[in-house]
């Protein structure tokens, strides 16, 4: 039975990935910082779907946390056939207001971890001749207004480059570029304003995003932008001068 490893699995898109993959018959490895929450979710997954659900508590902002997940991906005795690099968060304040420690943590979770775990997955999977790497970017990647946008842009560009290098190996790389999604991401006090700043029509649900993402993986699609409206928005944003998108900055 195939095994999928998902980071940021305790909530939001990560939890939805776990459910859809488990329902499809995949064993799952749940990665996040919250051990209690992961254990509770894993118990429900096992009971509801009958698949294996492994808990791996790791803080991806630390070297030790990333090393633990890397080691699990490289474990040939229990191979992982899909890695979903989903973990991420926003600070909710501008670059001039944030601390270096916070900025470094965001960078390590979204960029360093994605690079390190993708590297491990690519090595392990190409040796076996099959597998899939899924990285989560954002429509913010087409903006130029925050470090969050810069990190998400890096994920987009990196995954496209990775897909090119994996061609012919039997391993695919897919980057998912969702817009606003109704998850706990925006429950933080510093980001809660976004729930009312944007109309309901602008928001996607986790099931829609993950369904589109996994359909893209099956097709070995490199870039997946869930929903027609965000696909159109991405096309328009690519044409807008960066001098316009960076005006005013962002506190995401």
**For residues 208 and 226, what is the distance between their CA atoms, to the nearest angstrom?**
7
Specify the DSSP class assigned to residue 29.
E
Cβ neighbors of 237 (< 8 A, separation 6 or more) are 139, 142, 143, 245
H/E stretch holding 162: helix 147-166
Residue with tokens 């996607």: 204
Q: b/e for 194-233, b at 16 or more Cβ within 10 A?
A: beeeeeeeebbebebbbebbbebbeeebbbbbbeeebeeb
Catalytic residues: 148
Specify the DSSP class assigned to residue 5.
E
CA distances from 211 to 77, 137, 178, 216, 227 (A): 30, 16, 12, 9, 11
Angle, CA of 55, 186 and 100, to the nearest 5°? 80
SS (H, E, C) 216-251: HHHCCCCEECCCHHHHHHHHHHHHCCHHHHCCCCCC
Specify the DSSP class assigned to residue 126.
H
């Amino acid at each position: 039975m195939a095994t999928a490893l998902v980071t940021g699995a305790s909530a939001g898109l990560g939890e939805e990935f776990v459910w859809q993959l488990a329902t499809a018959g995949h064993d799952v490895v749940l990665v996040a910082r919250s051990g209690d929450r992961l254990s509770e979710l894993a118990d429900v997954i096992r009971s509801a779907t009958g698949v294996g659900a492994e808990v791996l508590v790791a803080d991806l902002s630390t070297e030790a946390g990333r090393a633990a997940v890397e080691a699990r991906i490289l474990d040939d005795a229990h191979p992982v056939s899909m890695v979903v690099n989903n973990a991420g968060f926003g600070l909710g304040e501008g670059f001039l207001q944030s601390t270096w420690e916070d900025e470094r943590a965001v960078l390590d979770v979204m960029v360093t971890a994605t690079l390190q775990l993708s590297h491990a997955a690519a090595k392990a999977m190409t040796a076996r001749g099959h597998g899939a790497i899924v990285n989560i970017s954002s429509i913010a990647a087409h903006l130029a207004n925050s470090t969050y946008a810069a990190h998400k842009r890096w994920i987009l560009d990196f995954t496209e480059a990775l897909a090119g290098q994996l061609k012919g190996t039997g391993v695919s790389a897919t980057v998912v570029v969702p817009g606003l999604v109704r998850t706990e991401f925006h429950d933080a006090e510093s980001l809660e304003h976004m729930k009312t700043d944007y109309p309901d029509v602008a928001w996607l649900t986790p099931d829609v995003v993950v369904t589109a993402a996994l359909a893209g993986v099956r097709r070995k699609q490199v870039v997946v932008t869930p929903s027609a409206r965000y696909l159109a928005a991405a096309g328009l944003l690519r044409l807008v001068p960066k001098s316009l998108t960076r005006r005013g900055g962002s506190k995401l």
